[in-house]
């Protein structure tokens, strides 16, 4: 039985006013060079915070957030899980790899159900997902393992619907992954006399992988290509990618237009029909939920699906533990319990969470341990600011001002003890690879912070400013051997659109209080330490198992 009572902190009674956490999404500590948009930006507020706050740097990648190794970049999902849980849980990538290595995934009832379905019907096993080794939403080696298992179990036909990355990996690296996939498919076709092929594809920001109901037209485009087999036809994925790049100079993989693969008669090779099985092999939930709904919900108002095929559908993991979506999945997700949000709600401590659509689920769903909804509506307020549906580099300020407006209103309302907000700018604009826009994005966040500080001062509160991972801090690819920026054959700098392995900043601002310091005894501090730090500022002792606070009494 969980003891939900939060004990008073033994040495610190808490600040009188609210404790606000600001997540500057994608704002890491870079190399202070010409590719570091955070360093290049004019940030008078952050510069001032560095002078008047307790400051440190936190680890936000790899094992510090539950990923397999410290070569794995952090991401917003695992970062916000760590913020909210105050502890580190094994995350999707690690859990899936463990299930594959042990064979557990293939011994489970769900995998057996899928194989049985296609062997009985003679229809293909379809795989849909992000084709890269970014290890944020998926990993190509997970796909390869499942294709090889299909061959071993006598599955005659398989079709792969590829979503091109260029976001968690180099921006024009798609052909490397397509080549590797084609090699595996060729080997299996030759060895087992199989019929395994790529069937459709397109950029992840053009089709299928929308999140938080921001743009259902993306899912509709994916449905038409993957399921209905409607789209521009090519003889191979390589031909499609090369042609679309030639026709759209400068278009990077994540934005590449959709395509289908057709046979010599011009017919699509892989529409999804009755009797098939479908595996959505992304393990991360936010960009998998909408396609899951399209496959599994009898009634869907967001777009017209046409005839819905009768298929056996499974996700790689359960993407929403509250809604239980999907009902069928291959690997058990991490069970994240006793989050800070639940502790505060059960102790009747008022909370406020806010972001724009792109990151709203991060300060609610992911922060609360992959749980939809509130713990107690009496003590919680969640505000979603609708995101603009435009390319982020065209409006790099995004909705920072509106998030700030809502937060100031909540702070001034009286009685609020804890708030958490996310400024999406550094991450979403960083992903575009546009350095100039990323600089403006960071400046927009800094400007918003400048509006929050006077409110915290007046209310005698505390402000924690940090990030969930880096992104805008490294806008060009770097040669690991030389340390120089990489260039393409024409001599142009190669834009980097993925997250970084850099540490993230942490500013703890407690105006009028000089009794606290950064605790030098906290070893390898990471973003999971933020929960206990927040609770201490609220006057509470950390719950059992939580990583320690970053703060100590002077």
pLDDT grade for 321, boundaries at 50, 70 and 90:
low
pLDDT surpassing 60 at residue 283: yes
Residues 318, 334: Cα–Cα separation, whole Å: 10
Coil, strand or helix at 75: coil
Which helix or strand (DSSP H or E) is residue 398 part of?
A: none
Q: What is the pLDDT of residue 479?
A: 85
Q: Please tell me the predicted confidence (pLDDT) of residue 263.
A: 97
Q: Do domains 21-90+335-394+407-553 and 93-331 have the same CATH topology?
A: no
What's residue 332's pLDDT?
83
**Which tokens belong to 351?**
């909370």
26 band by pLDDT with thresholds 50, 70 and 90: very high
Task: Report residue 310's pLDDT band, with 50, 70 and 90 as the boundaries.
Answer: very high
76 catalytic? Reply is: yes
Res 197: pLDDT: 98
Pairing of strands 157-164, 125-131: parallel
Predicted confidence at residue 322, as pLDDT, reads 57
What is the arithmetic mean of pLDDT over 111-134? Answer: 98
Sequence spans of domains, the chain? 21-90+335-394+407-553, 93-331
Give percent of the chain with pLDDT exceeding 70. 100
> How many angstroms separate the CA atoms of 213 and 222, rounded?
15
Q: What is the pLDDT of residues 190-202, one digit of tens each?
A: 998 999 999 999 9
3-class SS string, 477-510: CECCCCCCECECCCCCECECCCCECCCEEEEEEC
- How many percent of the chain have pLDDT more than 90? 88
Distance separating alpha carbons of residues 227 and 186, to the nearest angstrom: 23
CA 5 to chain centre: 32
The most distant pair of C-alpha atoms in the chain lies apart, rounded to whole Å, by: 77
The whole-chain average pLDDT of the chain stands at 95
Structure tokens given for 488:
């393409």
For the domain bounded by 93-331, which CATH number is listed?
3.40.1450.10
In tens, the pLDDT along 465-513 reads 999 999 999 999 888 788 899 888 888 898 998 899 999 999 999 999 9
Catalytic residue from among 53, 76, 173, 355: 76
Beta bridge partners of 552: 517
The arithmetic mean of pLDDT across residues 18-22, rounded, is: 98
Sole residue written with tokens 């960083």: 430
How many residues does this entry show for the chain? Answer: 554
> What does 371-394 look like in DSSP terms, one character per residue?
--S-S-TTTEEEEEEPPPSS-GGG
> What confidence category does residue 345 fall into, taking pLDDT thresholds of 50, 70 and 90?
very high
Q: Given CATH 3.40.720.10, say whether it is the number of domain 21-90+335-394+407-553.
A: yes
Query: What is residue 335's predicted lDDT score, i.e. its pLDDT?
Result: 85
pLDDT for position 488? 83
Q: Is the pLDDT of residue 323 over 80?
A: no
Kindly state the average pLDDT of the residues 265-270: 98
Please, which pLDDT band fits residue 24 given cuts at 50, 70 and 90?
very high
pLDDT-based confidence at residue 396 (cuts at 50, 70, 90) = very high
> What are the percentages of helix, strand and coil residues in the chain, rounded to 5?
35, 20, 45
Q: What separation, in Å, do the N-terminal and C-terminal C-alpha atoms of the chain show?
A: 36
Which three-class secondary structure state does DSSP give residue 23?
A: strand
| pLDDT (average), residues 280-308 | 94
Q: Please, what is the Cα angle at 136 between 422 and 152, to 5 degrees?
A: 155
Average pLDDT of the residues in 416-443: 97
Between 218-227, 233-242, 473-482, 535-544, the lowest mean confidence (pLDDT) is in: 473-482
pLDDT band at 207 (very low <50, low <70, confident <90, very high): very high
Tell me the whole-structure pTM to 2 decimals: 0.80
d(CA 81, CA 425): 20
Q: Does pLDDT of 20 surpass 60?
A: yes
pLDDT in tens, 434-465: 999 999 999 999 999 999 999 999 999 999 99
């Amino acid at each position: 039985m969980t003891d939900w009572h939060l004990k008073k902190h033994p040495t610190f009674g808490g600040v009188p006013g609210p404790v606000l956490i600001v997540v500057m999404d994608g704002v890491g500590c870079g190399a202070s060079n010409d590719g570091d948009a955070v360093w290049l930006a004019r940030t008078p507020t952050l510069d001032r915070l560095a002078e008047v706050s307790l400051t440190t740097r936190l680890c936000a990648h790899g094992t510090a957030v539950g990923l397999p190794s410290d070569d794995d970049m952090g991401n917003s999902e695992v970062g916000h899980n760590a913020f909210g849980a105050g502890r580190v849980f094994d995350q999707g990538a690690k859990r899936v790899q463990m299930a594959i290595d042990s064979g557990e995934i293939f011994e489970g009832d769900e995998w057996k159900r899928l194989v049985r379905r296609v062997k009985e019907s003679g229809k293909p096993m379809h795989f849909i997902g992000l084709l890269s080794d970014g290890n944020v939403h998926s990993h190509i080696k997970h796909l390869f393992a499942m294709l090889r298992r299909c061959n071993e179990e006598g599955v005659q036909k398989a079709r792969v619907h590829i979503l091109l990355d260029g976001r968690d990996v180099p921006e024009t690296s798609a052909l490397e992954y397509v080549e590797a996939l084609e090699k595996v498919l060729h080997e299996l076709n030759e060895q087992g006399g199989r019929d395994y092929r790529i069937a459709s594809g397109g950029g992840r920001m053009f089709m299928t992988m929308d999140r938080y109901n921001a743009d259902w037209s993306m899912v509709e485009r994916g449905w038409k290509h993957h399921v209905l087999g409607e789209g521009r036809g090519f003889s191979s994925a390589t031909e499609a990618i090369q042609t679309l790049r030639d026709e759209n100079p400068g278009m990077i993989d994540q934005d590449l237009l959709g395509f289908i693969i057709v046979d010599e008669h011009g017919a699509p090779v892989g529409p999804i029909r009755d009797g098939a099985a479908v595996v959505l092999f992304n393990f991360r939930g936010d960009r998998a939920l909408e396609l899951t709904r399209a496959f599994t919900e009898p009634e869907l108002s967001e777009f017209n699906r046409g005839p819905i095929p009768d298929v056996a559908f499974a996700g790689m993991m359960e993407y929403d533990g509250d809604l239980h979506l999907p009902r069928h999945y291959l690997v058990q997700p991490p069970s994240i319990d006793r989050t800070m949000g639940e502790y505060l709600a059960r102790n009747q401590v008022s909370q406020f969470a806010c972001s724009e659509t792109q990151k709203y689920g991060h300060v609610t769903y992911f922060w609360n341990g992959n749980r939809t909804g509130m713990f107690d509506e009496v003590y919680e307020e969640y505000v979603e600011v609708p995101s603009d549906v435009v390319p982020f580099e065209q409006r790099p300020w995004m909705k920072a001002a509106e998030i700030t407006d809502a937060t100031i209103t909540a702070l001034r309302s009286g009685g609020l003890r804890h708030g958490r907000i996310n400024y999406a700018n550094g991450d979403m604009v960083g992903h575009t690879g546009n350095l100039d826009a990323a600089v403006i994005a960071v400046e927009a966040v800094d400007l918003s912070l400048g509006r929050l500080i006077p409110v915290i001062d007046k209310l005698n509160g505390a402000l924690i400013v940090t990030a969930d991972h880096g992104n805008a801090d490294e806008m060009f690819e770097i040669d690991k051997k030389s340390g120089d920026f990489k260039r393409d054959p024409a001599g142009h700098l190669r834009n980097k659109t993925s997250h970084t392995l850099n540490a993230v900043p942490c500013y703890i601002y407690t105006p009028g209080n000089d009794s606290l310091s950064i605790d030098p005894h906290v070893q390898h501090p990471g973003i999971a330490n933020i929960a206990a730090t927040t609770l201490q500022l609220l006057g509470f002792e950390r719950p059992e198992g939580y990583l320690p606070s970053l703060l100590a009494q002077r």
